[in-house]
Chain A
Amino acid sequence: MYDGIKLFLTIVGYFFIAYLIGYSTFLFLSVIVGSLDLYKRNRQEKFKSILPTDYYLPISIIVPAHNEEITVVDTVRSLLALDYRSYEIIVVDDGSSDATSEVLAEAFDMHVVHRPIRRRIECRREERVYETSAQKVPLTLIRKENGGKADALNMGINASTFPYFICMDADSVLQYNSLRRIAQPVLEDGKVVAVGGIVRISNDVELENGRVKRYRLPRSILAFMQVLEYDRSFLASRILFDRFNGSLIISGAFGLFKKDTVIAVGGYDNKTMGEDMELVVKLHEYCTINGIDYAIRYATDAICWTQVPERLRDLCKQRKRWHLGLFQSMYKHRIMFCNYRLGAVSYVSYLYFLIYELLSPFIEVFGVFTMVLAWWCDLINVPFMLLFFLIYAVFGGVLTLTAFFSRIYTADLSVSFRDGVKAVCLCLFELGLLRFILAWVRCTAFVGYKKKKLNWGRIERRKIDLK
């Protein structure tokens, strides 16, 4: 029995060494590539390697909303203030039980019109369509039967008139130049079918007409840790994936898509919780299988400000949803697993998401249990284990700080000395504590999975400070 446990723990030990080498190598590469890319873009900006500002790609902005009566008017107001010439705004009210449609119609002088909507993608029926001619760009509000976020987005796509659309959340704010920046990759390369924008955390940031009036890091420790996590895991890794056209996620909070290609793949899947990831995975699969030369890009200078949960309960709810969405998307497109036709998307991106995102919480929780078992059997060198953990945490922390400061320096933002110290301290906590809490939460994401299928997954948010 004892020998069996010993053998088991030895195998587990080797597995974890391989697992950690893999993860730390990926982390190292993504932070290095991400940071260098940010510095390069900063240099490009300084030496005017930017396309002239008076070129515009007509864009439809789709804002799916469900019970957003508190934030939706401010969101639309911020969209109307964007520094862009040719765009339209389509708000899709997905059967709200509050007065989302009414407050919007009243605030922007919108009236019911008999607008027929061409169904190019399946979606629930519209109940009323409102339009107005009193704004600087066309503004449409569609009140439809409840069908979930994906269904609302599909309705928005059906109603949109321009060849490219942007999906965003009703409680997010686009930076004043974000449309110009997100459209740039399309002007640079005709093969681009989707562009991901960067999502920045707006908790405690003061914004005025889509411009940052005062940047400060969140007062909430939980939100602060998410800032660090976003910089390390999302910003850096997505830049790395972008290098080989391997992005598998474009955040639902801000992404630009070529409408015809999205329609060709059937739009957003309303049976999946992570509809944003599912769409991107589907685009990869569709374009590769049909021999379409395509590119999915990531624009690190196209910024959308969004709030993150400040309560652990809300954060857990959000991460459960994300994890379920990840599982559904990966399972649905399991054809991408080790598929030579998809190349690096399959062997690097899909494999990374499978091992280090989908299975990682189980692997990490399993690791903790084996450590307890090893300690119980007296088969572990505790001081060495602690040293190893410490070094691993310092390694992760240093890389997190590198990604964080690279972003701060290259985005012309500044942080106070206090916030800098806070970042140094919290990066260790984030890796040593929050990561394990979230690993457990993601492990338990499948409990009650059927019940959550189409709900909007609400979390408590504060009103964004738009001045």
Chain B
Amino acid sequence: MFVQILIYVYLGICAGMILFNIATALLSRRREHRSFRDGIRLELTVSRELDRLAETGAVSERHLRFMERRLRRVNGMAAFDAALERLCVRRPELTRSYLTALNGVTITLAEDYCRRDEIEAAYFPYIIKKYQLLGGADDAPLKEVLLKLLNEPSIYCRENAMQALYTSGDAQIIVRALRIIDASSLYYNTKLLADGLLNFNGDKMQLAEALWAAFEDFKVWMQVMILNYFRFSSGAHCERVLALLNDGARDDELHFSCLRYLGRYPYPPAYADLLRYATPSENARWEYAAIASSVLASYPGAETAAVLKRNLYHPNWYIRFNASQSLERLGFGYRDLIDVIEGNDRYASEILRYRFDMRALEEKGKEAAVCMTA
């Protein structure tokens, strides 16, 4: 009896799965066809409204109500996206004005989408970002909704919201967003944030000032992220960065970030400190000497050469490796370093030989490229 029941259960599951497969096949085909057709229809409707906008300078109330109803469905939003993509190419200026006129609808929809499942909630800020719907005077409610999305567990939702906020050009809203992320226990990759800040649409100096003003309120990981962003955006912060580097109470990670910044933007007043950090010490983490050895490639000088040469003999691989790389970048040749190459320290000699091999390869590559061009 038990086995028979089991067999019936299996058969039932089989029938269910077959139906599931057939239904999926039919639905997926229908959905594709339907979404394409919807996109075309919506394009026609919006296109007619663009004509009207060109003639009368306004979008009809009826159309706005229609769009509000239509865009409540995520598939309607996808069709709208497809239609806009084409219209932005064909009639860019009118489409821009049309989107501005649609602002009220967007704000109404924002609250609604914010309450949806994570995929639909993430799609809304994507549309905001794609068509740059932020930036007007009356978009404060929209920004509030985007800030709310930063508490969602889905990283896609949070990242799309941040991407939309970057387009606002509002430095204060970015700082508010970063405060929310900083206070949250949800993981946010620093690289995503640092690279994302580079997409900020507004005044970069204003953003930098806003970030410095709030700097002390952030946790260390966020401070490191901000310094990393500065490293890729501007060399205007050397003085503040040097002050942070010399503040002994700061976290090591923050100091490492400061060192890297000063490597990218050479700042002569920092030279003495960099030499000090490049000198390995038992009381400090080895990373200081390793990073500083790399950074010194941007600070040519006799003292630099002496410190780097000494670091070639250091037992730590990274210190040795970075010192050799910096010496090579500073243009030192085989003859300048013959005492190390022919010396007794095999590790120091090997690492330098490798550097010179690589230089030779690069030169060969350049020559080949010149020959090819000629």
Contact = CB atoms under 8 A, between A and B. Distances in A.
B233 interface: no
A48 interface: yes
Interface string B341-374: 0000001001101100110011011001000000
B317 interface: yes
A299 B118 CA distance: 19
Given A131-B358, A190-B189, A409-B28, A47 B119 contact: yes
A394 B7 CA distance: 11
B122 interface: yes
B17 interface: yes
Interface in B111-159: 118-120, 122-123, 126, 154-157, 159
Given A134-B368, A190-B189, A405-B25, A111 B361 contact: yes
Given A46-B78, A47-B123, A134-B365, A114 B13 contact: no
Contacts of A28: 13
Nearest to A402: B17
Nearest to A31: B17
A409 B26 CA distance: 11
B21 A49 contact: no
B354 A24 contact: no
Given A54-B195, A111-B361, A44 B189 contact: no
B3 interface: yes
A258 B25 CA distance: 39
B52 to A, nearest CB: 30
Interface string A1-33: 000000000000000010001001000100100
A113 B358 contact: yes
A57 B357 CA distance: 28
B156 A44 contact: yes
Interface residues of B, number: 49
A24 to B, nearest CB: 7
A43 B122 CA distance: 12
Given A24-B10, A116-B351, A189-B187, A49 B118 contact: yes
Given A48-B122, A49-B122, A115-B354, A131 B159 contact: no
Contacts of A392: 10
B195 A55 contact: yes
A402 B357 contact: no
A186 B187 CA distance: 11
Nearest to A399: B17
Contact of A48 (B3, B123, B189, B365): B123
B24 A188 contact: no
A287 to B, nearest CB: 17
Contacts, number: 120
Contacts of B365: 132-134
A99 interface: no
A397 to B, nearest CB: 8
Contacts of B64: none
A49 B18 contact: no
B306 interface: no
A138 to B, nearest CB: 10
Contacts of A55: 191-192, 195
B344 to A, nearest CB: 16
A391 B156 contact: no
A51 interface: yes
Nearest to A42: B28
Contacts of B25: 405, 409
Interface size class of A (residues with CB under 8 A): 35 or more
Interface string B6-17: 110011011001
Given A54-B195, A113-B361, A21 B317 contact: no
A118 interface: yes
Contacts of A131: 357-358, 361
Contacts of A132: 361, 365
A51 B20 contact: no
B156 A49 contact: yes
A330 B28 CA distance: 42
A114 B21 contact: no
A409 B20 CA distance: 13
Nearest to B346: A116
Contacts of B160: 48-49
Given A51-B192, A391-B11, A114 B350 contact: yes
A187 B187 CA distance: 9
B313 to A, nearest CB: 14
Given A113-B357, A115-B357, A406-B24, A50 B195 contact: no
A395 B159 contact: no
Interface in A30-64: 31, 39-40, 43-44, 46-52, 54-55, 57
A398 interface: yes
A421 to B, nearest CB: 14
A401 B21 contact: yes
Contacts of A134: 365, 368
B78 to A, nearest CB: 7
B317 A118 contact: yes
A391 B10 contact: yes
A394 B74 contact: no
A46 B187 CA distance: 24
Nearest to B11: A391
A395 B13 contact: yes
A132 B368 CA distance: 12
A398 B122 contact: no
A44 B123 CA distance: 9
A388 B189 contact: no
Interface in B17-34: 17-18, 20-21, 24-25, 28
Contact of B119 (A17, A43, A395): A43
B78 A17 contact: no
B10 A52 contact: no
A409 B24 contact: yes
A219 B345 CA distance: 61
A116 B361 contact: no
Interface string B184-204: 000101011001100000000
Given A52-B163, A114-B357, A187 B189 contact: yes
Interface in A104-121: 109, 111, 113-116, 118
Given A28-B13, A115-B354, A387-B7, 16 more contacts: A17-B3, A21-B6, A40-B119, A44-B156, A47-B74, A49-B119, A49-B122, A55-B192, A109-B368, A113-B357, A114-B357, A116-B350, A134-B368, A186-B189, A189-B187, A191-B187
16 contacts: A40-B119, A43-B119, A46-B78, A47-B120, A52-B163, A113-B354, A114-B350, A116-B351, A131-B358, A133-B358, A188-B187, A189-B187, A388-B3, A391-B14, A406-B24, A409-B28
Interface of B: 2-3, 6-7, 10-11, 13-14, 17-18, 20-21, 24-25, 28, 74, 78, 118-120, 122-123, 126, 154-157, 159-160, 163, 187, 189, 191-192, 195-196, 317, 347, 350-351, 353-354, 357-358, 361-362, 364-365, 368
Which 9 A-B pairs rank lowest in CB-CB distance, beginning with the nearest?
Answer: A49-B156, A113-B357, A47-B123, A116-B350, A133-B365, A114-B353, A48-B126, A398-B14, A49-B122
